[in-house]
Structure 1
Amino acid sequence: MTAITTIRIDYAALPKYLERSRPDAIAGVIEAELRDAGITAEASDVISHIKIELPTTQLAAASTLLASLKLI
C-alpha cells in the first residue's frame, strides 16, 4: 500500500498569471505539469482550493516542481 499526500493550494495564493476564473483548467494544467515530470498525481478543483493528491514518495519532486511554477 502506498501512502498518499494531499497538497492544498488556496486560490488566493495562486500567481496572477493564472486565470483564476477557471479553477478546473488550473487544476488540469498543474496535473499535466506534474505528469510531464514523471509524478503520478491527480489535481482537482475544490470549492476553496486546488487539491493535489500524489504518492508520498514523490512529494519532494512535486514540491520542487510546484515551487518552480511559483505555486508554493
Structure 2
Amino acid sequence: MMIATTTIRIDHATLPDQFDRSRMNAVAEAIEAALREEGIKAEASDLFSHLKVELPTAELAAASAVLADMKLI
C-alpha cells in the first residue's frame, strides 16, 4: 500500500525569535516532538536554507494546526 506524503518547507529566515537559528537540528527535533505529541508521525530535518518536514498527507490538517500554534506557518 502506498501512502501519499507531503513536504513542508520552513525557511530559516522566517523562524520566530523563540527558535535558536544556530541550532537548526534542535529546531527540527522540537518540531518532530511537537508533532509526535499530537500523534503525527513526521520527519523534520535541516537543509541548507530551510527545514523540511515530511508527513503523511492524511495528517496535513492536524500538522498544520500544530505548526501554526508554534508560529511556524
TM-score range, shorter chain: over 0.9
Structure 1 match to 2:64: 63
Does residue 11 of the first structure (1) align with residue 50 of the second (2)? no
Query: Whole-Å Cα distance in 2 between the matches of residues 29 and 69 of structure 1?
Result: 10
How large is the Cα RMSD of the aligned pairs? 0.4
Structure 2 match to 1:53: 54
Partner SS for 2:21:
coil
TM-score by length of 1: 0.98
Q: Displacement of 1:15 after TM fit? A: 0.3
Structure 1 residue ranges, 4+ long, deviating more than 4 angstroms after superposition: none
Paired amino acid for 1:67: A
TM-score by length of 2: 0.97
Query: Whole-Å Cα distance in 2 between the matches of residues 6 and 26 of structure 1?
Result: 17
Structure 2 match to 1:28: 29
Spell out, residue by residue over 1:19-55, the C-alpha distance to the aligned partner (whole angstroms, 9 max, x if none). Answer: 0000000000000100111001000010110000000
Gaps of 5+ in 2: none
